[in-house]
């Protein structure tokens, strides 16, 4: 029971698709990429499973593919796994070159997390794929988001975690949803449980 289709994303031209299956292989999770040529969709390579995952004790859950995003050209993908490492969560980035997908660097885990933050519950990329935002709605009471930039093939956290001020009612779940502008200079973060939902 892989739960393929739990998350989906498309390139700007609509010819590359990525699909998450967070329950694949005993809840480890995975993602699949597809390309369209001549009106026909075909899988591109094997399923993608990030290295360095830490399954949660008792359940084995990692949840890779709970959230996915693609760059505009379809050559960079980010994959969220909110159950990694007892619910701290993480995100993995993949790049496509010559029709082959490969993991870029290690998993990304934001610093300053409080408890089981569930990083990777939501993810987004800028159009060029060089900026990323990762939501962790269970961080502390408010939730949070982390931003990253890609420099020379390395992903670097940009500043501290983002937590919006003025949250009301204890649990806001900021980071349940995230989005980035095309240039990566503007982000929006959803907190659906703020002020008693």
Residue ranges of the alpha helices (H) in the chain? 24-27, 84-87
Position 183 confidence tier, pLDDT thresholds 50, 70, 90 = very high
Euclidean distance between CA atoms 17 and 83, whole angstroms: 24
Closest to 132 measured CA to CA, from 191, 87, 90, 164: 90
pLDDT tens digits, one per residue of 40-68: 999 999 999 999 999 998 899 999 999 99
**Token pair for 180:** 């980035």
Q: What percent of the chain has pLDDT above 90?
A: 95
At which residue do the structure tokens 């408890």 appear? 115
pLDDT tens digits, one per residue of 10-32: 999 999 999 999 999 999 999 99
Q: What is the pLDDT of residue 141?
A: 86
Other Cβ atoms less than 10 A from the Cβ of 188: the count is 12
Task: Name the 3-class secondary structure at 150.
Answer: strand
**Token pair for 39:** 């009106």
| pLDDT at residue 91 is higher than 90 | yes
pLDDT tens digits, one per residue of 101-150: 999 999 999 999 999 999 999 999 999 999 999 999 999 989 999 999 99
Q: Which residues pair with 102 in a beta bridge?
A: 95
Euclidean distance between CA atoms 73 and 65, whole angstroms: 20
Q: What is the pLDDT of residue 170?
A: 80
Please state the rounded mean pLDDT for residues 57-85.
97
Q: What is the pTM of this model?
A: 0.97
| pLDDT at residue 184 is higher than 90 | yes
Position 174 confidence tier, pLDDT thresholds 50, 70, 90 = very high
Evaluated on CA atoms 43, 46, 52, 56, the torsion sign reads positive
Q: What are the Cα distances from residue 25, in Å, to 8, 30, 60, 102, 138?
A: 19, 8, 10, 20, 25
């Amino acid at each position: 029971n892989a739960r393929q289709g739990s998350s989906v994303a498309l390139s700007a031209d609509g010819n590359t698709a990525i699909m998450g299956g967070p329950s694949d292989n005993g809840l480890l999770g995975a993602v699949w990429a597809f390309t369209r040529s001549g009106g026909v969709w075909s899988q591109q390579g094997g399923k993608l499973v990030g290295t360095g995952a830490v399954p949660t004790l008792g359940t084995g859950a990692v949840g890779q593919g709970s959230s996915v995003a693609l760059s505009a050209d379809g050559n960079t993908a980010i994959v969220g796994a909110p159950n990694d490492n007892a619910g701290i969560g993480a995100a993995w980035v993949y790049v496509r070159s010559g029709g082959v997908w490969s993991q870029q660097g290690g998993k990304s885990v934001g610093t300053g997390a409080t408890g089981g933050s569930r990083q990777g519950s939501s993810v987004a990329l800028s159009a060029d794929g060089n900026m990323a935002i990762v939501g962790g709605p269970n961080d502390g009471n408010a939730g949070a988001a982390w931003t990253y930039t890609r420099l020379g093939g390395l992903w670097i956290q940009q500043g501290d975690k983002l937590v919006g001020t003025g949250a009301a009612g204890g649990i806001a779940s900021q980071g349940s949803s995230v989005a980035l502008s095309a240039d990566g200079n503007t982000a929006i973060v959803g907190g659906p449980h703020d002020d008693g939902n």
